[in-house]
Structure 1
Amino acid sequence: MHWAKLLEDRRVTRAKQPLVPGLYESLVDADLDQLLADLDAAGVKVDARELAKLDDDQALTVLLRYLNRLLGELLQAKPAVRLQRTQAVLVALDRSQIPEPARALLAVADARGPALAAPFPEPPQIPLGQSDLLINASRDINIHRALESEIASADRVDLIIAFVRRSGVKLISSALRTHVERRGRTSKTLRVITSTYLGVSEPEAIEQLVELGAMVRVGYDPRMVKLHAKAWIFHRNSGASTAYVGSSNLSRSAMVDGCEWNVRLAALESPGVVKKLADSFDVLWEDSDFQRYDAARFTSIRARERKRFDGGAAEPDFAGLDIQLYPFQAEILERLQVERDVHGRHANLVVAATGTGKTVIAAFDYKRLRERLRADQREPTLLFVAHREELLRKARATFRAILREPEFGELLVGGEQPSEGRFVFASIQSLRGRLEKLVADEFAVVIVDEFHHAEAPSYRRLLDRLQPVYLLGLTATPERSDGGDVLRWFGDRIAAEIRLWDALTRELLCPFHYFGVADSVDLSGLKWARGGYDRGQLESVFDGNDARELLVRRAIREYVPNPERMKALGFCVGIRHAHYMARRFCEAGIPARAVTGELAPDERARAIAALTRGELRVLFCVDVFNEGVDIPEVDTLLLLRPTESATLFLQQLGRGLRRSDGKDGTTVLDFIGNGHSKFRFDRRYRALLAGRGGSLIKQIEQGFPHLPPGCAIRLESQATKFVLDNVKRALANHRQVAIDELSELARGRTPKLGEFLEAMEWELGDLYRRRSADWTWTGLRAAADLCPAGDADFEELGRAIGKLTHVQDELRTNSWITWLASERPPRLRELGPAERRLLMMLLALVWVNRLNEFPTLSAAAAKFWRQSELRRELVELLELRRAGRDHSDLPLTARPDIPLRVHARYHVTEILAACGVIQAGNFATQQSGVRYVAGERVILNLVTINKDPDRYSPGTRYRDFAISPERFHSESPNSYSPDTAAGRRLLDHAASGVEVLLFVRETPKTPEGFTTSYVFLGPTKLREHAGAKPIALTWTLEHEIPAWFYPHTQLTSS
């Protein structure tokens, strides 16, 4: 047959072509298998994995590409014979031509490479054969990280870019330097085309590219060359070339956190497009409009170009009153409501960074409180206190706008006095002489802005005098540098705060670029006392250490985008160290000053002002700027002392993350050396990562890929070794440290779980990070000889205790605590249908599939109730969860027989038990998808937003997402279509009286590798649908997605 002969010809041609070193993504057919055997015989390493071990999308792509190429070759014929050949192929598909097990070739080693080097370069984060769109979404990789991963395996790199900035070059300089060193400085290793258009490109940035080994050509005439193109081409000799075309220039903002769209193209998938890009680049490279880079010529033309635009109008300022709530503000209001309604706490502190709209939050909160007070027949009088007149005027304007009352509120500040005194915006200074006239309950609502001043005498007298129904404190920095404790006014509790990670994700703070610089100082032999280094010894090591000070300045030149314009804080060990660093920097021509506790307040203020004006480059400080001080202009942090405390580390980091005009990010230089065996690096990184991204060791090894938009952590190779060795050592001793701490707590008393967690600086998730009976409160207590060791059932049941850390709603916590505190399980005859299911939900969580061993619910409960210590642990765990509840939930009013609360979290076993699917002797499970429960006439729609967070997969990334708080898009299982019974049931659910209940989770696994619980979003109704196998579905939700969960369900970052 013609097709068979064609195949034979293809084999012969293919066999003559040797495999060059590089990355591949090719199916291993019989021909390629022979070539690999030849390489193996020659001692060349290859990476050819079984398809079953690849990501499902990648394996499918490999197979489809192979068949597509094969069919393309067969059909390269006259139209008359194409149909005949197609028929022949369909018949021939019955015979196997693929060696089994099927494999995909991923890489061939370079036999000429260094013997001790890794045999294969790391593949790009996006699979070689797939195209994609990068939009800097919250669950996306940004263009910067994607480019870095491409450079590592490229043989040649071409870049055409409109604007080149130093901030962008610094991001990828390390990757480009390695590329040039590996491939050699040739005329094509690294080529760059740019222009002087608009005078935006910086000559220093281009000089750095040249220094790295780039060949640069420039369009010097802005009248002829208005270069807007932005593209990267990564040539690979293996044929697996890739390219990026989009909107990102070479600047930090464009590459990490800007609103940018960039398309990634793969030659394996779109060879014609990638070739056209490469050809177009070559044409421009040879065009006379683009000439070799000349520094003097470039600088002259750029200066002239910039001057043309300097006279233009400044960008208009659109700042104004914002009376619409952002999701994070709505979340804070929700938490305030839970604090008052659930916990009965009416004195509440809100912690949020300046610029996040604290006054807007306060005004909306007062609007809600006013309605509540009026319903209780109480006049909603208000006192709003601040320390400056302009703050009071802005606050009153905000309240007027939100309350829609243009005459609301009176001022008590300066020369103004209220005539009615019912709704007063007052300065603390104006209240001083009037405190004795105020009745304790004169104001129903008291709001104090910048509450960290509350320990000052004037504020303290005011708060001691007044007894409002509701007290609301607002602050960006709850800690005071003088040690005052403002939390005492709020029962030592923060009601709501925007945590660092959330503030960065929502772009309320500046993104940071953290560089772990390998320190030359060895601290392993220093004295360790009272949980830390001996401070005197530590200062002796750093004070006068010229080599280390030189290392600091070298790191600044290497990593800070604009060293000559930086505004930095340097955190030192002690006063001598701070003065030494300031003196050495001044001697090196870098204006600096030491600012310590011995400095008078007015001198300190002058030093800060000099830094903000740019007269000083660095303030070296000792503790002074850890807390309570706000300098938005700071754009560089130098961590010059080892900091183990997670709180102190985050406070220091927070000093540089305030937004300021012209500031697009903060550079953090952390100097990491070989530390004492008891020093803990893991605490700072766990606090920074806030439990995201999986195992800490894995995060470190992968370069911290799961960070908020625009942020990056880069550890130098030696620093990585120091950190990894330290973290691995700490994890190996983790349990023994916990047991020792517990033994200390238990001297003469019986410690509670909450006390232990506080002493260890742990969250619940830290204790239950492993599914093991040893890693339970009972297991640790038994190891410390505080309770009896468990039996065989305890060993199995203990592994399940951590599954209950998601439970927080009142229905489960109240019922389960009451039952578990009793020595006997609840009598089933005294329980209603919903309560029996609630008990089954608990038992399904702890027994899991062993539930099949019990003939009745009573038998399963009776055996579990014998585990008295485990029951005690669950009571303490649930009490902590109930006390820490920060979200509200709603009843499933239409189905009182199903004990689920809307907006609460549930594991699949609980959902199935609540709907009667799981019963004693009949355990069932399901991880995701759609399930019809016929007896209940409900469809359970279980959705996972990010199917595989550990592997970037364009094919499955964006199938399920929230369109708005009221609408959600999901896809049915692949087998569903409008013609199938299951598909029809889904589409006709409303007409047939079937309820569709939506459950959503962000990822399938927690950072520790455990199954993630779902958030129950309540009943939904189908709004529209399209397609088949799968069906695209748009749902209308009965209840809006809560503000705390909505950002996790969106397609792009909020």
Structure 2
Amino acid sequence: MSPVLKYDRGTLIMWEVPQVVAHLFTWDARSQLYRARGQFYREVSELLRGHGAPYRDEAARFQKLELSFARDITPYAHQKEALQAWKAAGRQGLVVLPTGAGKTLVAQLAMGATPRSTIICVPTIDLLHQWYSGLLAAFPDASIGLLGGGSRDETPILVSTYDSAAIHAEELASRYALLICDEAHHLPSDFTRVIAEMSLAPYRLGLTATPKRSDGREADLDSLLGPVVYERQPADLRGLALSEYREVQILVRLSAAEQARYDELIALRGAFLARMNIQLGSIDGWKQFVMQSGTLEGRRAMLAHREARALAYGTEGKLRVLEEVLANHPAERSLIFTDDNATVYRVSREFLIPAITHQTPVKERHTLLQAFRDGRYRTLVTSRVLNEGVDVPEASVAVVLSGTATEREHIQRLGRILRKVTGKQATLYEVVTEGTAEERVSKQRKGQWKPRGDSQVPAWEGINAPH
């Protein structure tokens, strides 16, 4: 009798394992059988078939689908290239495209080219509904369902939040042949990675503007979804799939009083870090700093760090720059980003601008975004809540008052103003406090990725000062 490959509780199981796949299985003494991670399903199947080893596959419950687009679609060249690269890589891997470059259509093209039962994982409820609406419009005859936000459907095409998919990973693992992960950088976390580890899906597509994570776990995406198979940056698509844009960095100086206080605080923090031999250039260093903040000296150093950061991020000079930026774009829709809610509410009060934070109720947020879309509001100020996972209406100006440290955050915020509109010129202003840690991290980020055609304004002399 041929060996049987089965699925049980997130794992592949066999009672007897052919030698060719023995390295993928481990013996489970409790259940008296061999187990392997679900994600090895494709490798196990290919090895057994390639070596002519007889076996019966009773693990997968995939469905073939009939998918046809409801409308004629003409993808951009980069979308066709991304699809071909993914297919050439064996229908596994990561596609890296900037926000606004049409990652969702790439996924729909992949589904059309791989008509099998599909699960799409997204990080937020907003994206859950956006994907659902988009799939209904693309494939109106298909059975499409939701998992999350109060829904728990069992359909051949399922859109789920990462959290819901992780909770139900065992029961979903054997049903879907194609696993699509939007904002795929969320996948490697301790809680959500089980989605890919348990899944039998032989076909996997990850979508992201940048795979990088602060903990370095983006390397795990290679084994969970596959390597990067196609990548484009905003500068590669400007004027083509994305609007023409420019980036302007504006350096502002602390006032004399602010600078004196900033130097005092940094000296206090620096002395403590030197005594404790703590380096803040790594995650481990920050963990040590946080651990030490439970002591009296450590708490004083941490409070000094936070106050210095608040001074750099919230200097009065930034508000004067913001006033001039908005005056120079009186008719354009603008988004203002800050690193913290306190600055959001301060800008909202002083400039009479509607604000959106994680504290904003869902209905109010939708109302504000709709008013922005309709043109009733010209400007919105927000912290990080609009970085990803939200369909932000058309805007052509972004002002980053603070929060410039990571490549992902920068690309996400730039992407909010890059949606293609004929004749549109988008501008991203990055307002950075000179001579502080904020300037250093901004330079570090630009060392990782530097868009072409940037301009820089010297320490604040006005936006229209000669470059």
| CA–CA distance in structure 2, aligned partners of residues 449 and 674 of structure 1 | 36
Give the letter for the 2:368 counterpart. Answer: A
Percent identity of the aligned residues? 22
CA 1:614–1:549: 2 relative to 1, 3 Å:
same
| CA–CA distance in structure 1, aligned partners of residues 137 and 184 of structure 2 | 17
CA 1:503–1:441: 2 relative to 1, 3 Å:
same
1:317-344 Cα shifts (integer Å, max 9, x gaps): xx9945566432343234325644xxxx
Residue 550 of structure 1 is matched in structure 2 by 320
Q: Does structure 1 conserve the Cα–Cα contact (< 8 Å) formed by 2:356 and 2:383? A: yes
Q: Does structure 2 conserve the Cα–Cα contact (< 8 Å) formed by 1:516 and 1:719? A: no
CA 1:506–1:348: 2 relative to 1, 3 Å:
farther
How much does 1:643 deviate?
2.7
Q: Which runs of 5+ in 2 are unaligned?
A: 1-68, 122-127, 147-154, 271-279, 287-303, 462-467
Q: Does structure 1 conserve the Cα–Cα contact (< 8 Å) formed by 2:101 and 2:419? A: no
| CA–CA distance in structure 2, aligned partners of residues 649 and 359 of structure 1 | 20
Residue 425 of structure 1 is matched in structure 2 by 157
| CA–CA distance in structure 2, aligned partners of residues 509 and 436 of structure 1 | 36
| 1:87-126 equivalences in 2 (<5 Å) | none
Q: Does structure 2 conserve the Cα–Cα contact (< 8 Å) formed by 1:517 and 1:669? A: yes
Structure (1 or 2) with the larger CA radius of gyration:
1
Q: 1:332 aligns with which of 78, 82, 103?
A: 82
Residue 401 of structure 2 is matched in structure 1 by 640
Residue 137 of structure 2 is matched in structure 1 by 394
| CA–CA distance in structure 1, aligned partners of residues 387 and 373 of structure 2 | 18
Q: Does structure 2 conserve the Cα–Cα contact (< 8 Å) formed by 1:646 and 1:683? A: no
Give the letter for the 1:538 counterpart. Answer: R
| CA–CA distance in structure 1, aligned partners of residues 194 and 313 of structure 2 | 45
| 1:624-635 equivalences in 2 (<5 Å) | 624-635=385-396
Residue 248 of structure 2 is matched in structure 1 by 515
| CA–CA distance in structure 2, aligned partners of residues 550 and 469 of structure 1 | 55
How much does 1:627 deviate?
3.8
| 1:470-619 equivalences in 2 (<5 Å) | 470-474=203-207, 491=223, 495-505=228-238, 507-521=240-254, 525=263, 527=266, 530-531=280-281, 534-540=305-311, 543=314, 545=316, 548-558=318-328, 560=329, 563=330, 565-586=331-352, 592-619=353-380
1:383 aligns with 2:126: no
Q: Does structure 1 conserve the Cα–Cα contact (< 8 Å) formed by 2:334 and 2:378? A: yes
Residue 682 of structure 1 is matched in structure 2 by 443
How much does 1:504 deviate?
3.0
Q: Does structure 2 conserve the Cα–Cα contact (< 8 Å) formed by 1:336 and 1:496? A: yes
Q: Does structure 2 conserve the Cα–Cα contact (< 8 Å) formed by 1:392 and 1:425? A: no
1:374-427 Cα shifts (integer Å, max 9, x gaps): xxxxxx743354845432233437xxxxxxxxxxx741449xxxxxxxx93345
Q: Does structure 1 conserve the Cα–Cα contact (< 8 Å) formed by 2:369 and 2:393? A: no
| 1:662-701 equivalences in 2 (<5 Å) | 664-676=424-436, 679=440, 681-689=442-450
How much does 1:628 deviate?
3.6
Give the letter for the 2:322 counterpart. Answer: V
CA 1:649–1:662: 2 relative to 1, 3 Å:
same
Q: Does structure 1 conserve the Cα–Cα contact (< 8 Å) formed by 2:254 and 2:315? A: no
| CA–CA distance in structure 2, aligned partners of residues 681 and 437 of structure 1 | 42
1:596-630 Cα shifts (integer Å, max 9, x gaps): 34444444444333333334343333333334444
| Structure possessing the higher relative contact order (Cα contacts under 8 Å, 6 or more residues apart) | 2
Residue 941 of structure 1 is matched in structure 2 by none
CA 1:632–1:684: 2 relative to 1, 3 Å:
farther
CA 1:395–1:480: 2 relative to 1, 3 Å:
farther
Residue 383 of structure 2 is matched in structure 1 by 622
CA 1:506–1:428: 2 relative to 1, 3 Å:
same
Q: Does structure 2 conserve the Cα–Cα contact (< 8 Å) formed by 1:332 and 1:497? A: yes
| CA–CA distance in structure 2, aligned partners of residues 391 and 676 of structure 1 | 44
| CA–CA distance in structure 1, aligned partners of residues 384 and 134 of structure 2 | 29
1:428-478 Cα shifts (integer Å, max 9, x gaps): 49x99xx7997854544344667678799x998876764122122445686
CA 1:393–1:490: 2 relative to 1, 3 Å:
farther
How much does 1:642 deviate?
6.6
| CA–CA distance in structure 1, aligned partners of residues 227 and 393 of structure 2 | 24
Give the letter for the 1:609 counterpart. Answer: Q
| CA–CA distance in structure 2, aligned partners of residues 573 and 439 of structure 1 | 37
Give the letter for the 2:394 counterpart. Answer: E
Q: 1:411 aligns with which of 136, 143, 147?
A: 143
Matched residue pairs, number?
A: 332
CA 1:576–1:356: 2 relative to 1, 3 Å:
closer
CA 1:623–1:535: 2 relative to 1, 3 Å:
farther
| CA–CA distance in structure 2, aligned partners of residues 629 and 520 of structure 1 | 34
How much does 1:363 deviate?
5.8
How much does 1:479 deviate?
8.5
CA 1:498–1:508: 2 relative to 1, 3 Å:
farther
How much does 1:633 deviate?
1.6
Give the letter for the 1:348 counterpart. Answer: G
CA 1:384–1:651: 2 relative to 1, 3 Å:
closer
| CA–CA distance in structure 2, aligned partners of residues 464 and 630 of structure 1 | 30
| CA–CA distance in structure 1, aligned partners of residues 402 and 173 of structure 2 | 48
How much does 1:539 deviate?
1.8
How much does 1:553 deviate?
0.7
CA RMSD, aligned part only? 4.8
Further displaced range: 672-681 or 575-584? 672-681
Give the letter for the 1:383 counterpart. Answer: T
How much does 1:518 deviate?
4.4
| CA–CA distance in structure 1, aligned partners of residues 416 and 213 of structure 2 | 14
| CA–CA distance in structure 2, aligned partners of residues 519 and 688 of structure 1 | 23
CA 1:643–1:383: 2 relative to 1, 3 Å:
closer
CA 1:475–1:322: 2 relative to 1, 3 Å:
farther
Give the letter for the 2:245 counterpart. Answer: F
Q: Does structure 1 conserve the Cα–Cα contact (< 8 Å) formed by 2:94 and 2:229? A: yes
Q: 1:715 aligns with which of 450, 456, 459?
A: 456
Q: Give the 3-state SS of the residue equivalent to 1:620 in structure 2.
A: strand
| CA–CA distance in structure 2, aligned partners of residues 585 and 413 of structure 1 | 43
Residue 747 of structure 1 is matched in structure 2 by none
| CA–CA distance in structure 2, aligned partners of residues 436 and 514 of structure 1 | 42
Q: Give the 3-state SS of the residue equivalent to 2:139 in structure 1.
A: helix
Q: Does structure 2 conserve the Cα–Cα contact (< 8 Å) formed by 1:359 and 1:395? A: no
Give the letter for the 1:470 counterpart. Answer: Y
Residue 886 of structure 1 is matched in structure 2 by none
| CA–CA distance in structure 2, aligned partners of residues 325 and 535 of structure 1 | 47
Q: Does structure 1 conserve the Cα–Cα contact (< 8 Å) formed by 2:173 and 2:195? A: no
How much does 1:362 deviate?
4.2
Q: Does structure 1 conserve the Cα–Cα contact (< 8 Å) formed by 2:70 and 2:137? A: no
Q: 1:350 aligns with which of 88, 95, 101?
A: 95
Q: Does structure 2 conserve the Cα–Cα contact (< 8 Å) formed by 1:445 and 1:469? A: yes
Q: Does structure 2 conserve the Cα–Cα contact (< 8 Å) formed by 1:509 and 1:657? A: yes
Q: 1:657 aligns with which of 405, 418, 423?
A: 418
Q: Give the 3-state SS of the residue equivalent to 1:607 in structure 2.
A: helix
How much does 1:541 deviate?
5.6
| CA–CA distance in structure 2, aligned partners of residues 412 and 543 of structure 1 | 46
Q: Give the 3-state SS of the residue equivalent to 1:491 in structure 2.
A: helix
Q: Give the 3-state SS of the residue equivalent to 2:82 in structure 1.
A: helix
| CA–CA distance in structure 1, aligned partners of residues 220 and 73 of structure 2 | 32
